Structure 1
Amino acid sequence: MNQQWLRVVIAAVFEVSWVIGLKHASTVWEWLATAVAIFISFYLLIKAGEHLPVGTVYAVFVGLGTAGTVCADSLLFGEPWKLAKIVCIIVLLLGVIGLKLVTGEKKEEGGHA
């Protein structure tokens, strides 16, 4: 996995954090942490989008964030697992993996890296 895709994965982890924060934050520090997670998430997403196709980056970001949020909700907050939910997460992750496998990096113009 190259550095840009790693940025997308880390951005998705921060997305899960801020989504949970939006629902559960109750103190100034929790809201501040949520805001920081939003900033980091979108910063990494934007930086990855400078080198990878933006549509694919966004789809992978949202897919990983969605799957991560559903899993975190069950693991951290006791949301029950259902077979349909598990199947949908697997299908979503297969789509994310497929997009990543068929997407290359953008060609840099003028030799800039």
Structure 2
Amino acid sequence: MNWLYLLIAGIIEIIWTLGIRYSDGFTRLWPTIGVMLTTPVSLYLLALAMRFIPLGTCYAVWTGIGSVGTAILGVVLFNEPSNLAHILCISLIIIGIIGLKLFTH
């Protein structure tokens, strides 16, 4: 269950990060409210996961999920540039997340 909390926290991190982009520097009301509502939920779930998963592992996986998801959605939603090196680096983050899951007891 703790890994599920961590996964959901990471997904919600992607949502609030996108909300920051859509808020246009916190000048648009609804995206700003979305960020204000989703950020504490993500942090709460992260805190729940940290009760049983080591701090370093939790934080690395949480930020990794957020980084990978945000980078992919940046390319898909905002036409941000992507190339082979970009894809390789994102792949390394994914490998790191999987490794942390497999080797954390």
Asked if TM exceeds 0.5, the reply is yes
Match of 2:15 among 4, 12, 17: 17
- Report the CA distance between 1:28 and its aligned residue: 1.7
State whether structure 2 residue 87 is matched by structure 1 residue 80: no
Letter in 2 for 1:20: L
What is the aligned partner in structure 2 of residue 8 from structure 1? 6
- Report the CA distance between 1:78 and its aligned residue: 1.1
Moved over 2 A (4+): none
Distance in 1 of aligned mates of 2:31 and 2:64: 25
1:38-86 deviations in Å (ceiling 9; x for gaps): 0111010000001111110101111111111100101111112210010
Gaps of 5+ in 2: none
Q: Which has the larger radius of gyration?
A: 1
Distance in 2 of aligned mates of 1:92 and 1:76: 21
Q: TM-score normalised to the size of structure 2?
A: 0.91
Letter in 1 for 2:19: G
Aligned length: 102
Matches within 5 A, 1:54-73: 54-73=55-74
What secondary structure, in the 3-state scheme, does the structure 2 residue paired with 1:51 have?
coil
Letter in 2 for 1:70: A
Gaps of 5+ in 1: 105-113
- Report the CA distance between 1:27 and its aligned residue: 2.5
Distance in 2 of aligned mates of 1:64 and 1:13: 7
- Report the CA distance between 1:23 and its aligned residue: 2.1
Letter in 2 for 1:60: V
Q: TM-score normalised to the size of structure 1?
A: 0.85
